[in-house]
Amino acid sequence: MSAQDQIRETIEKNDVVLFMKGTKMMPQCGFSSRVAGVLNFMGIDYQDVNVLADAEIRQGIKDFSEWPTIPQLYVKGEFVGGCDIVTEMTLSGELDQLLEAKGVAFDKEAADKIREANA
């Protein structure tokens, strides 16, 4: 199976996927840590994919999304963005709206706490 096929299958089989450096429990870069921290704090069930474990996946996800950086967040098959976009969406409430529209469970109070802490 090609890297592109593996990526497509992972995105199709999981409601939320984070392609990141490291794992959700042990991120290995600050940007991946920030996005995983948001998802973990908000109680979102997601599949993490450690791009450091596979060079083909690491390059393949960049080609797949036509986005040059990692981490990359996908919700219900839709590419959401990287660290800056996810951070902005979290602080503006847009991430809440996207998750609600896609039927993905999350802790609304936790999302509000993130916004309060960054106001």
Q: What is the predicted pLDDT for the residue at 24?
A: 96
Q: What is the predicted pLDDT for the residue at 97?
A: 98
Closest CA to 110 of 41, 34, 46, 35: 41
User: Greater confidence, 51 or 119?
Assistant: 51
Q: What is the predicted pLDDT for the residue at 90?
A: 97
Q: pTM for this one? A: 0.96
Model confidence over 14-46: pLDDT tens digits?
A: 999 999 999 999 999 999 999 999 999 999 999
Residues 6+ apart with CB under 8 A from 46: 14, 15, 16, 17, 18, 24, 39
Distance CA 46, CA 80 (A): 14
We report the CATH number of the domain holding residue 41 as 3.40.30.10
How many structural domains does the chain have?
Answer: 1
Full residue range of the structural domain in which residue 53 is found = 3-117
Tell whether the model's pLDDT for residue 1 goes beyond 90. Answer: no
Model confidence over 76-110: pLDDT tens digits?
A: 999 999 999 999 999 999 999 999 999 999 999 99
